[in-house]
C-alpha cells in the first residue's frame, strides 16, 4: 500500500474511470484526506448540473414520442385508404358532371339547317345579314336558355 | 434486466410492441434527459430535443445492430442531435451567472461540509459551482461531451466511446484533459 497521498495524475485517472491502479485504489480506500478531495470535486460537479426533469416531464416526453411513433407507423395505412376513397369520389363526381349526350344537339342542328335553307330560298341575300339570319332562325332568348342549361 | 433482456425488448419493440418500446425508453430516459440538458444551453428547447431523440431511436430500431449497448446507441443519437442544434442555431452553451438554486438538493449548499455551514462558505461554494460550470462549458466540444456523459449521465468508457463514435483510448484522452482542467478550477475555487 502506498503511504503518500494520491498525486493529481492518479486522482484524475481514478476520476476518469480508467483501469484502476490497485495501489492507488487501496490507498484511497484507507485515506480520508484523499477521499475528501475526490468527493469535493464530485460534489461541485453534481451541484453544477442542471436539475433532473420531474416525473411528469419525463412521462410527457416519453408519451409524446410514443404517440408520434405510433402515428407514423399507421400513417401509410391511413394514406392508402384516403387515396382509395378520394379516387372513388372523383370518379363519381366526374360521372355526374358529364354533359348531356350529343344526339339531342345533332337533332337541333338538323332543324336549324333546314330553317336556314328555307330562309335562303325565300331571300338569297339574307346570307349577307350575318347575325340577322341567325336571329331569325335561333331567337336570342332560346340561345341564352340553351347555353345556361 | 441484463443485456439479453434488453435485446428481447429491442426485438419486441421492433415488431411493434408498444409496451416494449416504452420500457426501453423508461430504461434510458434519464440518460437522454441529462445529456440533452447538459449539452444544450438554457433557453433551447431541451424537451423537444429529448422527444426527438426518443423518436429517432424508435424509428431507428430496425437498424440497431447490437454492436454497442442500447445506452451507448441512444446517447449517440442524443449527442448528434444536440450537435446539430448547436450548429444550426450557432448556439453557445450558456448558464446564468446568478441562480436561485441554493435550496435545491444538488445546489451549491450541497458542496459545503456540514461541519462548516457559515455564510462565507456558502458564498464560496456558489462561486465555485459557477466557475466549474463555466469551465465545463468552455471545454472543447469532444472533451465537454465526454465529461458530460461521464459525470452527469454516469456512463462508462465503452458507452462514451459508442456515444461519441470514437475508440476508448481517445475517450480516455479527452476525459483526462477535461478532468485535469476542471479539477484545477474546482480546487482553486474551493481550497
Q: Predicted ipTM? A: 0.80
User: What's the Cα-to-Cα distance from B37 to each of B29, B34, B74, B90, B149, rounded to whole Å?
Assistant: 12, 5, 15, 17, 11
Q: Which chain A positions have a beta carbon within 8 Å of B47's beta carbon?
A: 53, 57, 60-61
Name the residue among B54, B132, B152 with its Cβ closest to that of A61: B54
User: What's the Cα-to-Cα distance from A40 to each of A10, A15, A23, B176, rounded to whole Å?
Assistant: 16, 12, 22, 18
Full pLDDT tens readout for chain A, 149 residues:
567 899 999 999 999 988 778 888 999 999 999 999 999 999 999 999 999 999 999 999 999 999 998 876 655 555 566 667 778 887 778 777 766 555 545 556 677 677 767 776 776 666 555 555 555 555 555 555 554 44
Cβ-count burial of A78 within 10 angstroms (0-12 exposed, 13-18 middle, 19+ buried)?
Answer: exposed
Q: What does the DSSP 8-state code read for residue B166?
A: S
Inter-chain CB proximity B106 and A46 less than 8 Å: yes
Neighbour tally for B79: CB within 10 Å: 23
Neighbour tally for A110: CB within 10 Å: 10
Q: Which chain B positions have a beta carbon within 8 Å of A67's beta carbon?
A: none
Inter-chain CB proximity A62 and B175 less than 8 Å: no
Average per-residue pLDDT for chain A:
76
pTM: 0.70
Name the residue among A8, A18, A69 with its Cβ closest to that of B172: A18
Instruction: Name the minimum distance, in Å, from the CA of B4 to any CA of chain A.
Output: 23
Average per-residue pLDDT for chain B:
86
Instruction: Tell whether A51 is within 8 A of chain B (Cβ).
Output: yes
Q: Which chain B positions have a beta carbon within 8 Å of A51's beta carbon?
A: 101, 104, 106
Q: Which chain B positions have a beta carbon within 8 Å of A37's beta carbon?
A: 187
Inter-chain CB proximity A62 and B176 less than 8 Å: no
Inter-chain CB proximity A48 and B59 less than 8 Å: no
The set of cell numbers assigned to A115 is 330553317
Question: Is residue B163 predicted with pLDDT exceeding 50?
Answer: yes
Inter-chain CB proximity B129 and A17 less than 8 Å: no
Percent of chain A with pLDDT over 90: 36
B93: confidence class by pLDDT, cuts 50, 70, 90: low
Name the residue among B26, B47, B132 with its Cβ closest to that of A48: B132
Percent of chain A with pLDDT over 70: 60
Amino acid at each position: 500500500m502506498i503511504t503518500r497521498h494520491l498525486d493529481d495524475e492518479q486522482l484524475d485517472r481514478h476520476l476518469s474511470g480508467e483501469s484502476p491502479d490497485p495501489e492507488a485504489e487501496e490507498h484511497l480506500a484507507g485515506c480520508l484526506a484523499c477521499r475528501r478531495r475526490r468527493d469535493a470535486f464530485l460534489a461541485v460537479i453534481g451541484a453544477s448540473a442542471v436539475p433532473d426533469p420531474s416525473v411528469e416531464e419525463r412521462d410527457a416526453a416519453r408519451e409524446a414520442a410514443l404517440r408520434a411513433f405510433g402515428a407514423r407507423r399507421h400513417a401509410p395505412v391511413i394514406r392508402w385508404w384516403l387515396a382509395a376513397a378520394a379516387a372513388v369520389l372523383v370518379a363519381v363526381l366526374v360521372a355526374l358532371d358529364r354533359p348531356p349526350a350529343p344526339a339531342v344537339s345533332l337533332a337541333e342542328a338538323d332543324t336549324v339547317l333546314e330553317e336556314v335553307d328555307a330562309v335562303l330560298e325565300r331571300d338569297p341575300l339574307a346570307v349577307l345579314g350575318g347575325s340577322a339570319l341567325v336571329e331569325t332562325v335561333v331567337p336570342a332568348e332560346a340561345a341564352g336558355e340553351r347555353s345556361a342549361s | 434486466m441484463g443485456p439479453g433482456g434488453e435485446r428481447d425488448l429491442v426485438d419486441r419493440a421492433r415488431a411493434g410492441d408498444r409496451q416494449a418500446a416504452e420500457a426501453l425508453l423508461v430504461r434510458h430516459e434519464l440518460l437522454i434527459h441529462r445529456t440533452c440538458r447538459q449539452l444544450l444551453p438554457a433557453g433551447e428547447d431541451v424537451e423537444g430535443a429529448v422527444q426527438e431523440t426518443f423518436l429517432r431511436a424508435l424509428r431507428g430500431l430496425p437498424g440497431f445492430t447490437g454492436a454497442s449497448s442500447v445506452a451507448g446507441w441512444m446517447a449517440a443519437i442524443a449527442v448528434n442531435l444536440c450537435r446539430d442544434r448547436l450548429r444550426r442555431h450557432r448556439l453557445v452553451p450558456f448558464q446564468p451567472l446568478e441562480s436561485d438554486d441554493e435550496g435545491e438538493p444538488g445546489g451549491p449548499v450541497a458542496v459545503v461540509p456540514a461541519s462548516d455551514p457559515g455564510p462565507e462558505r456558502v458564498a464560496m461554494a456558489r462561486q465555485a459551482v459557477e466557475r466549474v460550470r463555466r469551465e465545463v462549458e468552455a471545454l472543447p466540444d469532444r472533451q465537454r461531451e465526454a465529461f458530460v456523459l461521464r459525470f452527469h449521465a454516469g456512463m462508462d468508457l465503452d458507452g462514451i466511446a459508442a456515444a461519441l463514435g470514437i475508440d476508448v483510448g481517445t475517450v480516455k484522452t479527452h476525459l483526462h484533459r477535461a478532468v485535469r482542467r476542471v479539477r484545477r478550477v474546482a480546487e482553486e475555487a474551493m481550497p
